[in-house]
Structure 1
């Protein structure tokens, strides 16, 4: 399998293995160079544990920096040059900044400054070599999962079309089984119903069969060869259905494919009181720490806003939050005071003329969002969750988009899965596309997924993605 599922979140197994190999490499480099460049301790045995903790800390920070800049996804989606540039930023900029801050916050687990300098340089060359080897291996068909779709109608055509449009890194659709085929399915993928399923899967090296029939007869099996598929499952061939396959491969939930019954019986959309308590404690700890750490930046932002366009410095709006309850969200004002004449809600647009010069800067750097730490402390928001919308938009979208209210069953957040995967939403069509990611998060959210979102949001902030 090219995937591993941890806490309901699918991770690409080859990239997870690559990340683990690199972290081991980081640790070995840091341990060797710290032993070489750090003055020898008077009692080596007693100092061994701190050195091990320091090298582990170094490896974790370097791994998080690479993940935050989307380095692993760039291995297949972008050119080798872009991957190198992302690695340079992640190691020499983010890594150096992280270790500098850690010397003040947690000095006991930070390596000696000289050891950090040479370790980062050595880590850079180590990961370049590792990724070159990995890129040669990952292109091998042996690491790709061959998938056959059992179906040839509209549902199968949609999956084939989506795979062709967006690309699947480790999965290849080798055919669709049926009699009459949707126009979106090319002739090269047409397959008849096999007489011997075992021989068929061996011939095409099939790893998974996706059941994607538009209509299922009420008779047992609904036209699906259940017994044959059961035998294949016992022989390590995965059997899945279209909605789950799409969710896993594209990390979102396509609204036209969803049904209330599937959502009810799926492995997800569950409430956990212990998870809510843990998330609340985490939110309070992080928001409190950030308020202290970022207080100078918030003061400078407030002064800049006031000097350019006067007061008020803060801007507030009503938003829809947890369980559909309205609350007041706070931001540093980035638009003119008369941005919405008459009080009518207006979607933001690209290069919006209402944005001030200071506003453009604080939007690009996300400094305008910092007052929402107050909303997090009050419990109206969380660090990670769907972005809250205005009541006027929620009412209109709820009438047009099925399942829209489900996104309100979790707390809204400062950052979210949709913000990582989709540009800034400035229309009803954008809201529909972002809802697909919000539903994925609502179904699968966990502490691990929240951490991944927080780490990867660094790339969004640094590159100014999704800013209007």
Structure 2
């Protein structure tokens, strides 16, 4: 046996030994990763249980396979903790629907998005977008994007510190085009097309003691929803809005998702056209 073959054999043995040693550490890292999205109230319990179970497996590879399987278990535990008896496939289908529909709409309206962004930059200095903090699923804070409709923060129209709305901004708000960047939030996974209304952090902090109120944050907030639709038709209180959100959670699924989207489209698009048709034709 040549000296080179012996050296290669020793090197392979060292590499294999290192890989085997790393498999145990990798299993622990996988369990830590899989439990990161579980609710805070149950995260540590399952993490400790799974790490304890890991020691009962005799082989390093069996430990690794067990750690990988905790990903499936964590997904199911998280789902049933959020949505009870609803099928675990339901949020997957809704997420896929939201992602691909938002991406398709972005591609279709991209010329409009680009043109509006350029016009905002030409009209006033600063970014064409503004990010507003909101509370999403599991109470996580994110920024939902809108086209900027007001001048920069250091430009005010009165002594109360209200920023002056631009001429283009008034047009965007009137045509509801300022909300188009929310499609980016949907693609990123911050929001859904349909869901509870996003809440401001200061409001969330005041009402965190309410268990009923917390249920709204089991799913992603939506651009539209049952509460949003009913608030357009008539004045509703905060308590009524929460009731609509709870009804939405009870019937959470793609059929309701599509129904609310159709109602929103009908209310915001079809009704104005019908009024114009009746008035002028």
The two structures share one fold, judged by TM-score above 0.5 = yes
Which consecutive unaligned segments of at least 5 residues does structure 1 have?
A: 1-267, 347-351
How far off is 1:363 after superposition?
2.1
| 2:240 match | 433
Query: Contact conserved, 1:384 with 1:416, CA < 8 A, in 2?
Result: yes
Answer 1 or 2: which has greater strand percent: 1
Query: Contact conserved, 1:425 with 1:431, CA < 8 A, in 2?
Result: no
| 2:169 match | 359
1:303 aligns with 2:118: yes
Q: Distance in 2 between matches of 1:313 and 1:338?
A: 13
| 1:457 match | 264
| 1:418 match | 227
Listed one character per residue, the Cα deviations across residues 379-417 of structure 1 (whole Å, up to 9, x for unaligned) are 121111112111112122445x66111110111112211
Size of the alignment, in residue pairs?
Answer: 185
**Structure 1's 340 and 375: CA in aligned 2 closer, same or farther, altered over 3 A?**
farther
**The residue matched to 2:146 in structure 1 has which SS?**
strand
**The residue matched to 1:423 in structure 2 has which SS?**
helix
One of 383, 392, 404 as aligned partner of 2:202: 392
1:408 aligns with 2:217: yes
Listed one character per residue, the Cα deviations across residues 135-155 of structure 1 (whole Å, up to 9, x for unaligned) are xxxxxxxxxxxxxxxxxxxxx
How far off is 1:451 after superposition?
0.7
1:377 aligns with 2:184: no
Query: Contact conserved, 1:269 with 1:444, CA < 8 A, in 2?
Result: no
Q: TM-score, length-normalised on structure 2?
A: 0.58
| 2:109 match | 294
How far off is 1:310 after superposition?
2.5
Query: Contact conserved, 1:283 with 1:376, CA < 8 A, in 2?
Result: yes
1:281 aligns with 2:96: yes
1:443 aligns with 2:250: yes
Which consecutive unaligned segments of at least 5 residues does structure 2 have?
A: 1-82, 273-281
Query: Contact conserved, 2:117 with 2:147, CA < 8 A, in 1?
Result: yes
**Structure 1's 322 and 451: CA in aligned 2 closer, same or farther, altered over 3 A?**
same
**Structure 1's 413 and 360: CA in aligned 2 closer, same or farther, altered over 3 A?**
same
1:368 aligns with 2:175: no
**Structure 1's 460 and 311: CA in aligned 2 closer, same or farther, altered over 3 A?**
farther
Q: Distance in 1 between matches of 2:150 and 2:131?
A: 12
**The residue matched to 1:422 in structure 2 has which SS?**
helix
| 1:272 match | 87
**The residue matched to 2:99 in structure 1 has which SS?**
helix
Listed one character per residue, the Cα deviations across residues 304-360 of structure 1 (whole Å, up to 9, x for unaligned) are 32233332210002211111111121111123333999xxxx9xxxxx985433222
**The residue matched to 2:232 in structure 1 has which SS?**
coil
Q: Distance in 1 between matches of 2:170 and 2:234?
A: 17
Answer 1 or 2: which has greater helix percent: 2
**The residue matched to 1:294 in structure 2 has which SS?**
helix
Query: Contact conserved, 2:155 with 2:164, CA < 8 A, in 1?
Result: no
Query: Contact conserved, 1:364 with 1:461, CA < 8 A, in 2?
Result: no
Query: Contact conserved, 1:269 with 1:442, CA < 8 A, in 2?
Result: no
One of 318, 327, 339 as aligned partner of 2:133: 318
How far off is 1:361 after superposition?
2.1
